[in-house]
Homo-oligomer: A and B are copies of this chain.
Amino acid sequence: MMVRTAVMAGVVFVLAAGSAHSAEGMWTLDNLPRESLRERYGFEPDEAWVEQLMQASVRLASGCSGSFVSGEGLVLTNAHCVLRCVGELSGAEADYVNDGFVATARENELRCPAEELNRLESITDVSARIDAATDGRSGQAFIDARNGEKARIEAECVGDDAATVRCDVVELYGGGMHHLYRYRRYQDVRLVFSPEYRIGFFGGDPDNFNFPRYNLDMGLLRAYEDGQPVATDAHLSLRREGAEEGELVMVTGHPGKTRRLLTASQLERLRDVDLVNQLLYLSERRALLWQYGRSGEEAARQAQADLTLTENRIKVYRGQLAALQRPELFARRRADALRLRATAKTEDGDPWAAIASAQQAYRRIEAPYQMAERALGFDSEYFKLARDLVRAGEERAKPNAQRLREYQDAALTRLQQTVLTTAPIYPAYEETRLAWSLSKLRERLGPDDPLVKLVLGRESPEALAAKLVAGTELGDVDVRRKLWDGGFEAVSASTDPFIQLARAVDSVSRDLRQRYETQVEAVENKQAAVIARLRFAAFGDALYPDATFSLRLSYGEVRGWEENGRKIEPFTRIGGLFSRATGAEPFALPPSWRKVESTLDMETPFNFVTTNDIIGGNSGSPVINRNREVVGVAFDTNIHALGGAFGYDETLNRCVAVHSAAMLESLEKVYGAGTLAREMTAN
């Protein structure tokens, strides 16, 4: 056993930050860190335990995690994970974002216009099929072969059940391994509970990623099928007492993206190109939304969700940039590469050099690729809808395996849902973002760039945006449905100005995507697979892959940390919330809380921190004890863990969660939703 542990420690050092990383890792459920769990916590989960947990965990297709917490399809996640749904259900008349929403009876639950839940059913290793299909190919041929084989595997997996089955081929270890994840799909997702914005995001952006913390960042959804709540036998239940300091806790969820296996040249590109440019773009966008919102209450409401998410991304990226400004990180990556390179055979070539040269290729296309293909130059819902309609029309006419990934059969069910959403679109808000982003398009590419000239012609960004928004009918879901159903012909015949714009930029945009995929992504994938093989050979398979928004388990314990010689306690309490409230945004409490202040138990634990290794995408993950009882819902990390994209440091990185007691106490005493509390605690 010591050998295995020693190898583990070696691996961990290669992957991550410094010493004492025992809680490191986002482990796939078919490769849990069993030795560590046993040695450190004396915990040995059996197959049934894992299987039940897998079936109780859910992914929100919009980018979060959650868990079934009753036998009737009730899903616990974060308030910020249901924010978009709540916003889309709101309007000038009913502002559920700021006033909150509680359905104490089933018939009051409201369907989210564009949400989908996925529950993992099985994992199958399909590496051999992908390897066989791509063997000996590179560039475009590699991409085509890989995408084609993925599409075939996924189509076989889905069969005729696209409405209820979703299958994703997941690339692990940067392409070193491919697994097929088969999910049960639920598209009728209804809103059950969302707290007022003021308490769900108490402290707002200033407190975001900080701790001590006081957020009731919980939200409840319910999965329906055929108009009835889904029966979910394999579910979790809340344990009101939570977990003790030092107790083993685990988090299951869908961490979005880590970069712990990237090479130094990839990290340099991230630091110098992507993060800086994204941060500048988002910072501008933030002030744009903020000032737009200052023109009135309704405008503020329209921009609220985007502003919250923009501010959140800015904090995340700032944290990542700070982590990448530490020279030690690069020194370690280079040392790692040197060691592995020494084990390479002649036929492996120099994967690090090939990846470095792909980074140069990326730097050359970054501005147009981001502006056009990633649509940063067209910050508009209308444009997104138009592009999807235009491309879906074109792609669906092709054989499945030859389509762009996101228009393959496996993706269409979800795509149709987002294209035909009934969420409102606000023309003035669209015009503002579009005018601004068109000026960014011109700024990044220059006024003499052919694409810029094609888009703007002799117009200013402002005038063009006004004209496009005034002329479009894409705000009408029936118009979109006709275009979706009518396919290529209907889209080609459309004179809608956004459809015409999306069509006009599409050949340039597709060309950029092809250059990105063949010159950057294909190289990175092929070479990462070579490096992964070297790594497996050197360290065995007791390695976790970088996060890929697929199901993972992280283990750790309830624990505070020390900062500048000061000890940060692991729990906050409801009393602390009332002390911190000033009455001014974002430190104002909603009336519902002020009204019942005297009835609340001020000692109730509110938020708490654990050493679990999590990252964005894990939002809404259940925090469970060894009995699979929910002791909290993860909603954030501390500021130190923002560097977690590149490595884990157990002394500082913390997961932040809402305590089960706070959830139950507030449902019962603040929201009059004792029925929900009972449902979540029943076995």
Residues of A at the B interface (CB closer than 8 Å) are: 203, 205-207, 210, 272, 276, 279-281, 283-288, 290-292, 294-295, 318, 321, 325, 432, 436, 442-443, 446-447, 456, 458-460, 462-463, 582-587
Contact = CB atoms under 8 A, between A and B. Distances in A.
B458 A582 contact: yes
Contacts of A458: 582-584
Contacts of A279: 276, 280
A285 B284 CA distance: 7
A628 to B, nearest CB: 37
The 5 A-B pairs of least Cβ separation, nearest first, read A287-B287, A291-B291, A458-B582, A460-B584, A287-B288
A206 B442 CA distance: 7
12 contacts: A206-B442, A206-B446, A206-B447, A276-B276, A279-B280, A280-B280, A283-B283, A287-B288, A291-B291, A458-B582, A460-B586, A462-B585
Contacts of A325: 272
B288 A321 contact: no
A interface, over-half SS: helix
B584 A291 contact: no
Number of copies: 2
Contacts of A286: 284, 287
Contacts of A280: 279-280, 283, 318
Contact of A291 (B205, B288, B446, B456): B288
A436 B284 CA distance: 13
Contacts of A436: 287, 290-291
Contacts of A442: 206
A654 to B, nearest CB: 17
A210 B287 contact: no
A272 B585 CA distance: 32
Given A276-B276, A283-B283, A460-B584, 17 more contacts: A206-B442, A206-B446, A207-B447, A272-B325, A276-B321, A280-B283, A286-B287, A287-B287, A290-B436, A294-B432, A447-B587, A456-B584, A458-B583, A458-B584, A459-B582, A460-B586, A463-B584
A506 B462 CA distance: 43
A178 B326 CA distance: 37
Contacts of A585: 460, 462
Contact of A284 (B205, B283, B321): B283
Given A206-B442, A276-B321, A432 B283 contact: no
Nearest to A583: B458
A317 to B, nearest CB: 10
Contacts of A206: 442-443, 446-447
A456 B318 CA distance: 24
Nearest to A453: B582
Nearest to A463: B584
Q: Which of A283, A285, A442, A456 has the most CB of B within 10 A?
A: A283
Contacts of A283: 280-281, 283-284, 287
A433 to B, nearest CB: 10
Contacts of A288: 287-288, 290-291
A446 B638 CA distance: 14
Nearest to A458: B582
B203 A447 contact: yes
Contacts of A582: 458-459
Contacts of A285: 287
A396 to B, nearest CB: 37
Q: Which of A276, A284, A295, A432 has the most CB of B within 10 A?
A: A284
